[in-house]
Amino acid sequence: MNVKQQLKEGLLTQNPVTVQLLGMCSVLAITTSLFNGIGMGISVLVILTLSNIFIAALRKIIPNKIRIACFIVVIATFVTVVDLFLKAYLKELSASLGVFIPLIVVNCIILGRAESFASKNGIGASALDGVFQGLGYTWILVVMCVIREFLGSGTFGGGLLGEGGKGITLFPEHFAMAGMARPVGGFLTLAAVIAAMQYFLNKPKKAEKKEEVAK
């Protein structure tokens, strides 16, 4: 179990959003305020980690022919727990995220990690995989939320900071680009974040190729 390698993969080289391109619906839909991004990210992290642990623990007794169905049952159980928790203690977040919390049941990140990692590895490694992949998903959400909220409404920390949770005003709203708070803004921001990540990841490879050519 290589913890550093798992951390690097979760945050960068195998990031579920910018590299694996999974869970796009929630990434595009809810990244309009920092409150939404943090709430959704932590929800996915908790569900992913617990699902990985249980699936890893049961991997040897789950029949291969019905493994996907069993994975979905496990995932749905934890999604229900998180959904009920949000409705009981964080009603504003639950209302803001809406249907995207129940839809975590079919989120490709959760099911993908269950199939590709948790079903083939031990509990410890699977737990770390859930945490690191969840953190990778969360930090991309937070980055997108900050960009879209800043450009779309001129604020920072919507739902968390400022008077009434309206966020800290950085510039007057009439100077903001309203389109950034709409679906098109989500697509443009995600494209920019993916492009920046790919540039960052491929830069060392290009440098190595130049060194080889020079030799």
Residue 215 lies in a domain: no
CA distances from 68 to 48, 83, 90 (A): 15, 22, 31
For 66-93, write each residue's pLDDT tens digit: 999 999 999 999 999 999 999 999 999 9
Q: What percent of the chain has pLDDT over 70?
A: 95
Do the Cβ atoms of 166 and 17 come closer than 8 Å?
Answer: no
- Which three-class secondary structure state does DSSP give residue 135? helix
Domain-located, residue 176: yes
* pLDDT at residue 11 tops 80: yes
Q: Cα–chain-centroid distance for residue 99?
A: 16
Contact 153, 179 (CB under 8 A): no
Distances from the Cα of 83 to the Cα of 45, 157, 209, angstroms: 14, 23, 49
How many domains, the chain?
Answer: 1
The arithmetic mean of pLDDT across residues 94-113, rounded, is 90
* CA 67/CA 61 separation, integer angstroms: 10
Residue 212 resides in a domain: no
The answer to whether residue 214 is domain-embedded is no
User: Higher-confidence residue: 157 or 215?
Assistant: 157
For 128, the domain range is 3-206
Handedness of CA 27, 28, 34, 36 (dihedral sign): negative
pLDDT band at 162 (very low <50, low <70, confident <90, very high): confident
Residue 59 maps to a domain: yes
**What's this model's pTM, rounded to 2 decimal places?**
0.90
pLDDT digits (tens, 9 = 90+) for 170-212: 888 888 888 898 888 999 999 999 999 999 998 877 766 766 6
Say what the pLDDT of residue 170 is.
85
Is residue 100 a part of any domain in this protein? yes
> If we measure between CA atoms, which residue out of 5, 13, 16, 18 comes closest to residue 196?
18
Q: Is residue 211 part of a domain?
A: no
Let me know if residue 65 belongs to a domain: yes
pLDDT tens digits for range 39-70: 999 999 999 999 999 999 999 999 989 999 99
| Residue the block writes with tokens 């159980």 | 77
